[in-house]
Amino acid sequence: MAPAAAAPAGLAAVMLAVALLAASASAAVTYDRKAVVVNGQRRILLSGSIHYPRSVPEMWPDLIQKAKDGGLDVVQTYVFWNGHEPSPGQYYFEGRYDLVHFIKLVKQAGLYVHLCIGPYVCAEWNFGCPLQPSRSAAALELPEGHRLRLPSSTGQCRYRVNLEQAEMQKFTTKIVDMMKSEGLFEWQGGPIILSQIENEFGPLEWDQGEPARAYASWAANMAVKLNIGVPWIMCKEDDAPDPIINTCNGFYCDWFSPNKPHKPTMWTEAWTAWYTGFGIPVPHRPVEDLAYGVAKFIQKGSSFVNYYMYHGGTNFERTAGGPFIATSYDYDAPIDEYGVANFWYVFLLTMATSYSMASVFKSSTGSCVAFLENKDKVSYARVAFNGMHYDLPPWSISILPDCKTTVYNTARVGSQISQMKMEWAGGFTWQSYNEDINSLGEESFTTVGLLEQINLTRDKTDYLCVEIAQDEQFLSNGKNSTLTVMSAGHALHIFINGQLTETIYGNVEDPRLTYRGNVKLWPGSNTISCLSIAVGLPNVGEHFGTWNAGILGPVTLDGLNEGRRDLTWQKWTYQVGLKGETLSLHSLTGSSSVEWGEPMQKQPLTWYKAFFNAPDGDEPLALDMSSMGKRQIWINGQGIGRYWPGYKASGTCGICDYRGEYDEKKCQTNCGDSSQRWYHVPRPWLNPTGNLLVIFEEWGGDPTRISMVKRTTGSICADVSEWQPSMKNWHTKDYEKAKIHLHCSGGARKKFRRG
């Protein structure tokens, strides 16, 4: 037979199409009303989200193995479009973005993959989509107004950020083709059993009606035509057209049913807690409540639960969405940011689902499984069942796999609790370099009016320097004047005649800023400059692609000789990025190109560098940045992320009772403290000696108190035989000692079991 390559191109394409059709016709993964069916077998699938770019490839095998040990069958991940296509047509699939390698590792571990192609990802990921290429030019052409970015009309990356549907189709097709050519779908012998198109598009349809519905149906058809041979799902999408399965995301999903009776009931995001933001407390979810939520869902006869997140990881570089999403994406997940499994947590999650293997409560062979529930948020309930009495703790479910014996109750803990300890592992000797924002570089330009920041920076940098142009004279009488600056966000430094006068910033709820204050002007002409900072682009919300950042005005001065002056429509000079960024001070070459001096304490807008050797051992590492204010860290040129310990969390923390409905504000820590103090340093980024650590500090901190720490585990072993409400004082991490019998058997860690 002639080799395929010898066949004419058209014929080869037809042959390929026929082969794919045949393959998908005999697809090994299907579904019915009860479950996803893999190779003819209905499966109860326990899944967990691990996002590959939020850790380093060297961590992947261990994370996946821990997920397997934790009882998972499936690993779910988004595909991160803007990481894979950093500029139009330029693709990147290396390092942390080596998607194929990640999927192959999951296969090697014997697990399945749920591939959420999206390609829009929400995920607290910077912008969730690529920036559309034409935006900058289009915005600058706009002659008047505040030069808002173009409003988007249809689509998700299309809808939300004005990317063309064709672009979305192109990227989705590229990923599908890549998976096919690597043989990664289940029918090809690969691990992918499910895929996802779009992400939580339903809410946009509720708001926008017909055009949004038309888009959803276009996206669904486009996906189905790709013939992937495994089911597509659409999460939070009540209108998901057949054969696409609509699924539930949330803290609880026991209320949920799919839009057609022949589809299985699936929970694609069971939120294990919530993300951390700079300036807000850190959320935790009591595992008793999560286990209860999951048992309730399974009790309904559902067959798929995905823990979002199972390993949250780290928002390296500037990948954190926003504004104000923290660098840690720990998510209080069963495997923590550093890759350490919280065994207590894993144990509970697994137990809650493993008995559900018999989701048929009574089978024809006579086997019987019972779930007994107590919905009361306060008190025990005594229930009579099958001729026996059962005492059920409040807000819990007991599982009786033989309809007699309680083997598990979601509120009863029978395992160990591990605590994170950060051990000092070294300090640094610093040199410093001052960022000079008073003389703008050659690439600066002058124009009339105030320009939107993201249009200008294209998100290549967080920074935009904006200065009133030199030829714009306004005369002060030398008395105090009142300056008003309004900005769309997210943070701002104001300089009068080169002196830092004020620093302001928004918050997670509202990134907008208004500065109004007395400023001391010189008699004669004065310079007003602002350094405007974006702290992560939004990733969720209607048309979030049109949300602005930067100083859009009005900017006014009161108390001049002439009275009030509106500066909004004067000439302004712009410089995108910092000088240190242009010089690549974060890299070895760049940092050698300038003279560094002795560090000065509490000096704002300063670059620091230090060399260090890798600490011994193999414990995960972090930088303790508690003595610093705000900005960014690099090690050997790699972005550790944005830091901001100077932004103290405001909110309510305190006693956490697992009983009653959970939401992300219920059980929080770090009130009045930094939202994030420690910053993960992946060991594989270090050389044994001579590592370059570079920091850019905006506020002025004390670098001499920065230290490297090792993340170790201090264990509290808690064997609990009687029920007690899990009440933790999150401030002191004090567990109710009177009620818990502490039992440490020789310090050995008890391995969690599978049901």
Enumerate the active-site residues: 200, 269
Question: Between 316 and 371, whose beta carbon lies closer to ligand GAL?
Answer: 316
Q: In what order do the strands lie in the sheet with 621-624?
A: 414-426, 707-719, 621-624, 678-681
Question: Between 249 and 396, whose beta carbon lies closer to ligand GAL?
Answer: 249
Q: Contact 491/504 with Cβ under 8 angstroms?
A: yes
Q: Contact 80/392 with Cβ under 8 angstroms?
A: no
* Number of residues forming the site for ligand GAL (CB under 6 A): 8
Going residue by residue from 8 to 47, which x/- string records binding to ligand GAL, judged by CB under 6 A?
A: ----------------------------------------
272 binds ligand GAL (CB under 6 A): no
Among the listed ranges 65-73, 121-129, 417-425, 521-529, the one in contact with ligand GAL (CB under 6 A) is 121-129
- SS3 at position 310: strand
Q: How far is the CB of 735 from ligand GAL (least distance, A)?
A: 27
Residues from 469 through 498 that contact ligand GAL (CB under 6 A): none
Radius of gyration of the chain (CA): 28
544 binds ligand GAL (CB under 6 A): no
Can you list the positions of beta strands (E) in 92-167? 112-118
Q: In what order do the strands lie in the sheet with 41-43?
A: 29-31, 36-38, 41-43
What is the rounded CA–CA span in Å between residue 62 and residue 326? 24
Q: How far is the CB of 287 from ligand GAL (least distance, A)?
A: 18
Amino acid at 507: N
Q: How far is the CB of 274 from ligand GAL (least distance, A)?
A: 6
Among the listed ranges 122-130, 356-364, 426-434, 599-607, the one in contact with ligand GAL (CB under 6 A) is 122-130
Q: Is 181 left (phi over 0), alpha (psi -120 to 50) or beta?
A: alpha
Q: How far is the CB of 104 from ligand GAL (least distance, A)?
A: 24
Question: Between 120 and 505, whose beta carbon lies closer to ligand GAL?
Answer: 120
122 binds ligand GAL (CB under 6 A): yes
Q: Angle formed by the axes of helices 99-108 and 165-181, to 10°?
A: 40
Residue least distant from ligand GAL (Cβ): 122
Residue 209: Cβ-neighbour burial (10 angstroms; 0-12, 13-18, 19+)? exposed
Among the listed ranges 5-13, 117-125, 413-421, 483-491, the one in contact with ligand GAL (CB under 6 A) is 117-125
Taking the alpha carbons at both ends of the chain, their separation in whole angstroms is 53
Q: How far is the CB of 358 from ligand GAL (least distance, A)?
A: 31
Going residue by residue from 200 to 229, which x/- string records binding to ligand GAL, judged by CB under 6 A?
A: x-----------------------------
Q: Contact 576/457 with Cβ under 8 angstroms?
A: yes
194 binds ligand GAL (CB under 6 A): no
120 binds ligand GAL (CB under 6 A): no
249 binds ligand GAL (CB under 6 A): yes
Q: Which of 70, 86, 48, 720 is nearest to 409 (CA)?
A: 720
Q: How many CB atoms lie within 10 A of CB 343?
A: 22
Q: How far is the CB of 324 from ligand GAL (least distance, A)?
A: 14
Q: How far is the CB of 202 from ligand GAL (least distance, A)?
A: 11
What is the rounded CA–CA span in Å between residue 335 and residue 343? 8
Alpha helices in 531-631 (DSSP H): 579-582, 588-591
Q: How many CB atoms lie within 10 A of CB 535?
A: 27
199 binds ligand GAL (CB under 6 A): yes
Among the listed ranges 120-128, 208-216, 343-351, 600-608, the one in contact with ligand GAL (CB under 6 A) is 120-128
Q: How far is the CB of 122 from ligand GAL (least distance, A)?
A: 3
124 binds ligand GAL (CB under 6 A): yes
Q: Contact 658/289 with Cβ under 8 angstroms?
A: yes
Q: Which of 618, 593, 622 is nearest to 607 (CA)?
A: 593
115 binds ligand GAL (CB under 6 A): no
User: Residue 282 is encoded by which pair of tokens?
Assistant: 């850190």
Question: Between 78 and 102, whose beta carbon lies closer to ligand GAL?
Answer: 78
Question: Between 250 and 517, whose beta carbon lies closer to ligand GAL?
Answer: 250
Question: Between 124 and 459, whose beta carbon lies closer to ligand GAL?
Answer: 124
What is the rounded CA–CA span in Å between residue 389 and residue 361? 19
668 binds ligand GAL (CB under 6 A): no
Among 275, 408, 608, 678, binds ligand GAL (CB under 6 A): 275
Chain residues that interact with ligand GAL, rule: CB under 6 A = 122-124, 199-200, 249, 269, 275
